[in-house]
Structure 1
Amino acid sequence: MKRILIPTDLSEKTNAALASADLFIEMFDCTVDLMHVIPLSKYLGDSFDKIGVPLNMNQDIYPKLIESQRKELSTFANEHIKDKERRGEYIVTIDRKPSDSILNQIKKGKYDLVIMSARGGHYADFFHGSATDKIIRRSETPVLTLSETMFVEKINTIVVPCDFSNNSLAAIPLAFDMANKFGAKLEFLNVIEMYTHDIHGVEPTTMGIDEKAVYGGFKGRLKSFFSNFDEYDFEVKDGEKLYHDTLIHKNDSNEESVEFKTVIMKSIAAHHEIVDYCNENADLVIMSTHGRTGLSRMLLGSTTEQVIQHLEKPQITIKPDLKD
């Protein structure tokens, strides 16, 4: 992880992302770029009524506005990021759709991670609504959303919600790296959706579900995934204790390993169970924006925003590009 982008609306509510920058700089020795998108209608709409003389937007308005916001962005960085040497670019753009500017910059800048506060200031929908949803679903770069400053000592358990699909399992290598860096425990959460009568309050039946068999099937699927996608250079080693195994990464002549726990749960709606479990047990959640079976219901479409709203812990979402 060499380069990180942090979009900010320059409000105090975005402090969480900026204040977490030093953590990632220290852990990964990376460079952090800051970006601010000027919403055209919000910043300029009220002013046009008072101007009364023709002005050239490109010559008279935009350069001064951008320079003013770049200075404010620099001041904001001075307040929240201690390591000045690792600050990269201050990027200021003007756009009617902030998410489009951010996505363009993500693609152009070839970032390894995007960090966004879960809530913004005056432009709350910029960080916590349709714009955030678009960035999470369309970004080719992993996106970390958080509502509080991250501290290394508080990241003790990393949870990866995953089903049997390749896309959901593709989040595991990133989780492995994070667990190594933070010295955290790693858990893979698989929720079995139970289908029953469509009547509110009816408990799902547990008949026909063998959790040990599901665990065995999931671990077998995990082994098959890393065998098929050998570019990851991972292998799964069986543990002596049920539900506890080891993930091994081979890097040239070196080997790194992280123990992981598989958690099997049952629910009528997978996303409710995952949110509840992660809010109670996770310090960081890492998951794919694409899945199949029950997990896809949580990760795709309008429920993505609902998960972010209800997930109280930091969350990294990735969009896998598997060539299978």
Structure 2
Amino acid sequence: MRYRTNNILALVRPNKEGEGVLKQTLFFQEALGMRIFIYNIIDEPSFFKRLFNPKISEYLQKEALRHLQEVVEQSIQGKVRDNLTYRVKMGNPGKVLLRQAKMGGYEFMIIDKSEPEGGLTREETDKIISRSECPVLSVNKNYYVGEIKKIVIPVDISQSTKKKLLWATYFAKKYGATIKIVSSLSLNISAKKSLAWKNAEKLKQILLERNIKCDVDILKAKGKEKHEVILDYIKKENPGLIILRTHQESNMAGTQIGKFVSEIVHGSQIPVFTVNRFLNPMPVDFEL
């Protein structure tokens, strides 16, 4: 199902490590005006426990829901309570999140990419980003972004960019941010003669027509891998958000995310918003 909503799904563990994710989630909620569905995913009881106590799953979910709400409301001290909904599910976190995304009802989901103990691993994060039927915003619980003045969009000439530009337009207008389109050039030719420059300039013109400030930077790889060049640029520019299009490469792990995207997601502490091949409506208040 794919329909227009104004909801964010956020995976927040009800402990100290979850506070950073919650704080970052509330930052986005405040500007975007969306409802947050706060999820906690717990282990399912063993077959034998369920055999001898058929109601144990229901009991554990109710207790986990009570604890989640208690921890969150204590952390936020009464703020935005009207925009919060709590959910507790059982099972594998990755599978649960992908199932919820497939059911529809969320503009995007927020997950922690910092690999906390007991949290999502790098491989699990990559699989969610690749397979989710809604965009994914991966944040670092230890790195809080309190303003978005710049948004970096790494451009790969082999990728479709339409969906990136729609979301870039949305976030840029919400935060009044400047967009920096960046591409890494491995060939030893003039930047302005490259296909990367021509493509980036086309994107720039589209954004300028939407009244969004935009700059283009073409970087020389100079023997480095493309993701390394982009990460160096991100560190220097220090944007508030990065927007990527997932590569549809397949590999033995089945993540389909591609090395470039994975390295950017995990190589930077800054929030990374990834869009994929699925065609989902934009938020209800989206305007070009």
Counterpart for residue 197 of structure 1: none
Note if contact 1:11-1:122 (Cα within 8 Å) is conserved in structure 2: no
Counterpart for residue 248 of structure 1: 209
Whole-angstrom distance in 2 between the partners of 1:54 and 1:321: 40
Runs of 4+, deviation exceeding 6 Å: none
Q: How much has 1:132 moved relative to structure 2?
A: 1.0
Which of residues 84, 90, 93 in structure 1 aligns to 2:89?
93
Counterpart for residue 311 of structure 1: 268
Whole-angstrom distance in 2 between the partners of 1:219 and 1:122: 40
2:55 partner letter: D
Whole-angstrom distance in 2 between the partners of 1:260 and 1:303: 23
1:270 partner letter: K
Counterpart for residue 198 of structure 2: 217
Counterpart for residue 97 of structure 2: 102
Note if contact 1:284-1:315 (Cα within 8 Å) is conserved in structure 2: yes
The CA RMSD measured in Å over matched residues stands at 2.8
- After superposition, the Cα gap between the structure-2 partners of 1:21 and 1:38, relative to the gap in structure 1 and judged at 3 Å, is same
- Indicate whether 1:286 and 2:243 are aligned: yes
Q: How much has 1:287 moved relative to structure 2?
A: 0.7
1:258 partner letter: I
- Indicate whether 1:262 and 2:216 are aligned: yes
Deviations 1:29-56 (Å, cap 9, x if unpaired)?
Answer: 211001111133xxx57xx7xx7x9614
- Indicate whether 1:78 and 2:73 are aligned: yes
Counterpart for residue 114 of structure 1: 109
Instruction: Could you tell me which runs of 5 or more consecutive residues in structure 1 were left unpaired when the two chains were aligned.
Output: 195-205, 224-235, 238-245, 250-256, 293-298
Deviations 1:42-88 (Å, cap 9, x if unpaired)?
Answer: xx57xx7xx7x9614xx232011111111111112203342101112
1:184 partner letter: A
Whole-angstrom distance in 1 between the partners of 2:259 and 2:197: 33
SS at match of 1:123: coil
Q: How much has 1:191 moved relative to structure 2?
A: 1.0
SS at match of 2:114: coil
More strand by share: 1
2:124 partner letter: A
Report the TM-score, using the length of structure 2 for normalisation.
0.80
Note if contact 2:9-2:108 (Cα within 8 Å) is conserved in structure 1: yes
Alignment map for 1:1-324 (pairs within 5 Å): 2-40=6-44, 44=45, 55-56=52-53, 59-81=54-76, 82-88=79-85, 90-95=86-91, 97-119=92-114, 121-124=116-119, 126=120, 128-147=121-140, 148-151=143-146, 154-194=147-187, 206=188, 209-214=189-194, 216-219=197-200, 222=203, 236=205, 246-249=207-210, 257-267=211-221, 268-281=224-237, 282-290=239-247, 300-301=257-258, 304-321=261-278
Q: How much has 1:222 moved relative to structure 2?
A: 3.6
Q: How much has 1:144 moved relative to structure 2?
A: 1.0
Q: How much has 1:303 moved relative to structure 2?
A: 5.6
Note if contact 2:108-2:134 (Cα within 8 Å) is conserved in structure 1: yes
SS at match of 1:110: coil
- After superposition, the Cα gap between the structure-2 partners of 1:79 and 1:193, relative to the gap in structure 1 and judged at 3 Å, is farther
2:9 partner letter: L
Whole-angstrom distance in 2 between the partners of 1:306 and 1:216: 23
1:273 partner letter: V
1:69 partner letter: A
Note if contact 1:9-1:120 (Cα within 8 Å) is conserved in structure 2: no
1:85 partner letter: D
Whole-angstrom distance in 1 between the partners of 2:177 and 2:201: 24
Q: How much has 1:211 moved relative to structure 2?
A: 0.8
Identity of aligned residues (%): 24
Q: How much has 1:24 moved relative to structure 2?
A: 2.5
Note if contact 2:115-2:122 (Cα within 8 Å) is conserved in structure 1: no
How many residues end up aligned between the 2 structures? 262
SS at match of 1:170: helix
